[in-house]
Amino acid sequence: MTADALRRQMGDFSSISIPGKMAARMGQCFSTTNIGSSRELSPHEWQHIADVERNGYVFSDGVGTISTNMLAEVAERLGYNKQTLSAIQIRVGGVKGVLCHDPTLGETDLHSSEPGKVHRA
């Protein structure tokens, strides 16, 4: 196994030209997920939101949003008090990101950046 072969197995990093950013994305491949918090998402629960683009610039912090009820469900699955969580890190279908609480969303909604704009493991 060569270093190049290992990097190819980790994902496609060809669009990242900044070494620090590339190293951070590669590091995501070595983090873990609490399996006990896993659950299936139906298509109507997960909406992809477009980044805001103006004058050739993309304004996105890459952070999605999660409803009050869905965040409470995650807190319960993890054994936390639902009042203590305001943001969580997720991994869905190879996409990894952060969701912040949004009390304006529906009962079981989450919104995130388009999958192509997020690192795929």
40: Cα separation from own chain's centroid:
15
How many helices and strands (H and E) does the chain possess?
3, 7
List C-alpha distances in Å: 111 to 46, 67, 101, 105. Answer: 6, 9, 10, 9
Taking the whole predicted model, whether its pTM rises above 0.75 is answered as no
Phi-psi group of 27: left, alpha or beta (phi > 0 → left; psi -120 to 50 → alpha; rest → beta) = alpha
63-107 tens-digit pLDDT: 888 889 888 888 888 888 877 788 888 776 556 678 889 999 887
Per-residue confidence band for 33, with pLDDT thresholds at 50, 70 and 90: low
Measured CA to CA, the distance from residue 9 to residue 79 in angstroms comes to 34
